[in-house]
Structures are given as C-alpha cells and as structure tokens.
Amino acid sequence: MEYRLIPGTDLKVSLLGFGNFVFGTNWWGDFTDDDGVRLQNQAFDHGVNFFDSAAAYGNGRAESLLAKTIQYAGRDKLVVSTKFGYDFYSDPGEHGGHRERKQDFTPKFLRFDLEKSLERLGIDCVDLYQAHNLKLSQFKDDLFETLDKLVQEGKIRHWGVGLGPAIGWREEGYLAFRKHKAAVVQTVFNLYEQDPGREFCEVAREAGHGGVIARVPTNSGILDEEFKSPDHTFPATDHRKFRDKNWLVFGLRKNEVIRPLAKRYGLSIRQFSFRWLASFPELVSIEPNLLNLADVQEFAAAADAKPLERATLDVIASLYANDFYLGEDAHPCDWKSSVTPEGKIRSGYVKPAEVAV
C-alpha cells in the first residue's frame, strides 16, 4: 500500500481509501452490520488506514459501523474522516431516496452534529472533518471560524470540503483551497471525468497546501466494467438512472480504447484508471466502491502497482482532450454550477488563473 501525506497536515493516508457510504443506502445492495464491519476490517488488513464516513450515511449507521473497525484496528492505526452539514435529525429522508435533504452549516448545528458523530464513532477527536456538499452560498465566515475553534479545542485535527452530490462546483473547490486553506477537497474525479479534479490538483499545488480526494473513480461503474450493453436498464433504486444516456453508450466505447493500454501494464481497466489518478501528486486518496473482498484485493494491488509512464499519460491526455476521437456526443456531461443562471455549465478544463484571494 502507498501512503501519502496531505500537504500542510500531519495526516498520512492510504492511497486506497474506504468510503463507507455504501452502507448508508441500498444503491449498491443491502449489507448486514456484520457484513459491513467484516469488509472494513478486511480493507484494514490489506493496508487501508483512511476511512471516510459521514453523519448522513444511513442517518448515522455508517459511522456506527466504522466504530467497530476503529476498535478492531486500534484508534492510532487509522485516519478517521467524517462529514457534517445534513440535518437528518429533522429531515431523515427515505431509505434509498435520491432527494438532497436539509442542510445546516450554522455554528450551533455544526457543534451538535460533531458531538453526535464523536459519540457514534466512539472517539474524542476526528482526524478530518469535511463540510458535506457545501455550496458557494454557504461559504460563511462563521462556519470556518467555528472549524478553526474546533481544531484549537482538540475536537478535530483538520477540516476539508466535500463537493457534490453531482460533479462540478469549480468555484467552491478553488475558494476552499485559496481563501480558507482547506486540508482537502473531495470531488468526482476519474479517467472519463478529469475535471475539475485536475484543476483542483493544480490549485492545491499553487496554494502549497491541501490535497484532493477522488470519489466516483470508476465513472459510476463504467470502469468497473459493470455494464455489458448500452441498452442496460437501471432499477428504480439505482442513482445512475439519472445519468445522461451518452455516459453509458460512449463509456463502453471508451473502455475499448483504454483496454490495450491497461493490458500493457497487466492491469484491469479499473486498476489502470486508479493508477492514472495516482499520477497526480496532489491526489492523496482514491475511494472506489469496495463491495466485497475481491474489490479490496484488486484495488489494494493497484495501490501498489507500477506507476504509469510519461508516454502513457500523454496518450491519455490526448485522448481525453479529443473526446477519445468518438465525436461530440462522447464529451463528459455538463457540470453543476453555483455561478450560472441555469445552474449548470459545460464540462471542460480551464487553466486556473493565479489569483491571490
């Protein structure tokens, strides 16, 4: 297992991270408590020390399961991350639902939410505390002042910002690093959706602190080769039914372009895409869906695999810049945006302007 230091912090995290959001909904199947804890423990046994949860995952369930693995591994052996900001206490939502629930980033709720998380996790300090799907309008001074106070009080060691639920939110990531000195920005980042994650890496490098955490690193299952046909039908509970049809149609075709490159390294497509993400020095951890022991083993092997050569990275850059030479319809889907009237923006790389904030 490779471990990376989050710049500007004392946190050294495994390149393969375990995001236990899979235990907070039935989108990836139903796990018993015993199943979930066993899988987390197996990940630890394979070198994973970074476990990322959230209060809202299963309305506290995922944190409670993580507490069992903290006991199994030992508190000092893990870097524990969780997230705050969804008030599921007053807006519990529906199991497996897709509606974004009520958020509250006030100092009062932040402190309340943290104490509940600490209680469920069975610890007295969170290593990394992330604002869960924070939007531009919610970047309030009192939020960041409270986070800094919590660091001083020893309740949290470092804090960051998680962006979502959909891909996008460029301005939020820039602001988190440049003005507020966040330890991490977590975002959708994968071989077929390279930005704004790539831009965030550049902003972190420019800022001289902080790292990027990649979620959805297999492009919602495309790079897992989960789907065999462009006519695949998604059940009502599957969140991917909301994705643009071209994501599936052209994702399968992109896989066939990438396959020979992966084969050259003796890697599966998803292992190859993991190694591509690992080529960014500012990328500190990658969180694929780990649904069984085989997933843990395959990604753990990828986290210890040979780095991709510069020539290979150049080929990938050219493919991506030209939509894999598959035409306009193969372009990545639009992003969400806080700064456009329609709330979305066309995806695409923009070199970050070096602006002091």
- Written as one string, the DSSP assignment of 230-266 is TT----TT-GGGGS-HHHHHHHHHHHHHHHHHHHHTT
Q: Going by C-beta distance under 8 Å and a sequence separation of 6 or more, which residues neighbour residue 248?
A: 222, 227, 230, 232
Kindly list the domain boundaries of the chain, sorted by start residue.
3-345
Q: What is the pLDDT of residues 130-145, one digit of tens each?
A: 999 999 999 999 999 9
Strand 335-336 to strand 344-345: parallel, antiparallel, or no bridges (unpaired)? antiparallel
Regions of the chain with pLDDT less than 50: 356-357
Query: Per-residue pLDDT tens for 159-188?
Result: 999 999 999 999 999 999 999 999 999 999
H or E, element range at 214:
strand 211-215
Can you give the pTM of this predicted structure?
0.94
CATH number of the domain at 3-345, please? 3.20.20.100
Q: Which residues face 82 on adjacent strands?
A: 129
Predicted local distance difference test score (pLDDT) of residue 25: 73
Q: How distant, in Å, are the alpha carbons of 85, 208, 209, 259, 352 from that of 281?
A: 29, 12, 12, 24, 17
